[in-house]
């Protein structure tokens, strides 16, 4: 069924998918974007671009409405850790090892099925029948707080908060080593890893992604971090930590287990190995969420303590390898991963009054990212020269064996050639 939608002057500047969603309230923005990609949205008879922004009064023609897939989700009885509930929202503390909604390789035993059993038809339908009430998600092995919408009005309100960055999600994570900067922002776009479709990676072709971080507690081999998402990309914290050179402790996908164990100083390797045995997967948890209530307009904050396995590892590290002063060493640390370091045109200015919680300043001079990049580049060039020299000597020996070159060759260094004609000396 064709539907015509007119954009007025008040809509100028709006992106096409967001504008259409305001009229097609029963469908998600993902549904509308799929229609645009299928050339089912026209303007003056021409298919519109997915990046179109309205710049005048325009009339759009939607050739067909998005198709909602029939639900194959069956309610499943499960215990839910409900932190808060009212007529609009539910705050859930998701346990580890629970998939949020059906997807590739996971059709049963999901949080969505548990929500459907518990709340029945009292959940929003904007994200489709396979994701009732789901506003955002957590990875299977990442426990913590999630907000669930009980109606479409609440869902749209929460989705707007996510887009405007007024819904704040705070995480705790244990990472390998000590970060170079104790507080900062990682601004690196994320997209699908071209070499491994299961993973995400930092790539210039990806979507913008920003993670705010702050070091909270130090151990000889690791650091407890507080992180806050400004955007919500798949595996964002895990990829950003790996990109920074300090993977999340215990992360099996992003080199957070045995790959880092070999980099630990021998004196602490057994301690690190035992801590890894205690960590079921990545030690990352959503511990706090702050949002504006969709109906009352009041700001609400919810917190949960760290899960038992996370606390167990921290207790063990506090006993076996506490650390008062962080150290950072680019030579022996955890930074030499194969990664595309995107350097800024200019190094950021560093002010003396920058936050630093320790009075003892006796640390190594910290090189800038550009300096570290140049050192690594020079090291690779030197390594290549050595390899070429080895190959040359090997080829020369082989040639001597074949009798193609004399066994002893007098080599004259450049700049020291004879200056007298040898014929005169005869």
Give catalytic residues, as residue numbers.
139
Q: Which two tokens stand for residue 250?
A: 């215990």
User: 262: Cβ–Cβ under 8 A, 6 or more apart, which residues?
Assistant: none
Query: Using CA atoms, how far apart are residues 272 and 54, in angstroms rounded to an integer?
Result: 56
Query: Using CA atoms, how far apart are residues 93 and 288, in angstroms rounded to an integer?
Result: 10
Structure-derived torsion over alpha carbons of residues 312, 318, 323, 328, reported in degrees to the nearest 10: -10
Query: Using CA atoms, how far apart are residues 106 and 159, in angstroms rounded to an integer?
Result: 25
Please report, for residues 1, 19, 41, 281, the alpha-carbon distance to residue 49 in angstroms, rounded to integers and kept in the order given.
21, 13, 9, 41
Residue 407 CB-density burial (10 A; 0-12 exposed, 13-18 middle, 19+ buried): exposed
- Torsion sign across C-alpha atoms 294, 295, 301, 306: negative
Do 112 and 101 form a contact (C-beta atoms < 8 A)?
A: yes
Burial track 300-318 (b if 16+ CB lie within 10 A, e otherwise): eeeebebbebbeebbeebe
Q: Which two tokens stand for residue 363?
A: 């640390």
- Enumerate the β-bridge partners of residue 228: 170, 212
């Amino acid at each position: 069924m064709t539907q015509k939608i007119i954009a007025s002057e008040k809509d100028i500047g709006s992106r096409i998918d967001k504008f259409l969603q305001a009229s097609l309230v029963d469908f998600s923005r993902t549904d509308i974007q799929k229609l645009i990609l299928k050339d089912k949205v026209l303007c003056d008879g021409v298919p519109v671009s997915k990046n179109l922004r309205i710049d005048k009064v325009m009339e759009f023609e939607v050739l067909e409405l998005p198709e909602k897939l029939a639900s194959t989700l069956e309610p499943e009885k499960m215990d839910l850790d409900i932190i808060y509930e009212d007529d609009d929202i539910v705050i859930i503390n998701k346990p580890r090892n629970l998939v949020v909604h059906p997807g590739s390789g996971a059709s049963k035993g999901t949080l969505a099925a548990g929500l459907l059993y518990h709340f029945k038809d009292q959940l929003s339908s904007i994200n489709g029948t396979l994701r009732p009430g789901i506003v955002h998600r957590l990875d299977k092995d990442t426990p913590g707080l999630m907000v669930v919408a009980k109606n479409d009005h609440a869902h749209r309100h929460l989705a707007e908060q996510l887009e405007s960055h007024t819904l704040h999600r705070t995480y705790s994570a244990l990472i390998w080593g000590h970060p170079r900067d104790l507080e900062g922002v990682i601004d690196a776009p994320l997209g699908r890893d071209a070499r491994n479709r299961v993973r995400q990676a930092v790539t210039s072709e990806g979507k913008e992604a920003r993670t705010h971080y702050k070091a909270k507690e130090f151990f000889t081999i690791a650091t407890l971090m507080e992180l806050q998402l400004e955007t919500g990309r798949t595996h964002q914290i895990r990829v950003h930590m790996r990109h920074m050179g300090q993977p999340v402790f215990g992360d099996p996908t992003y080199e957070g287990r045995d790959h880092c164990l070999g980099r630990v100083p021998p004196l602490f390797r057994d301690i690190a190995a035992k801590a890894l045995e205690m960590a079921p997967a990545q030690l990352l948890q959503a511990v706090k969420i702050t949002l504006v209530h969709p109906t009352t307009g009041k700001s609400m904050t919810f917190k949960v303590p760290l899960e038992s396995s996370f606390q167990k590892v921290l207790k063990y590290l506090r006993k076996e390898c506490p650390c008062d002063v962080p150290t950072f060493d680019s030579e022996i640390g955890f930074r030499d991963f194969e990664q595309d370091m995107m350097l800024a045109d200019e190094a950021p200015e560093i002010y003396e009054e920058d936050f630093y919680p320790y009075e003892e300043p006796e640390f190594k001079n910290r090189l800038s990212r550009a300096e570290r990049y140049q050192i690594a580049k020079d090291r690779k060039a030197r390594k290549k020269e050595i390899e070429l020299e080895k190959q040359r000597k090997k080829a020369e020996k082989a040639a001597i064996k074949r009798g193609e070159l004399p066994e002893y060759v007098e080599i004259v260094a450049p700049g020291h050639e004879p200056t007298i004609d040898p014929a005169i000396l005869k």
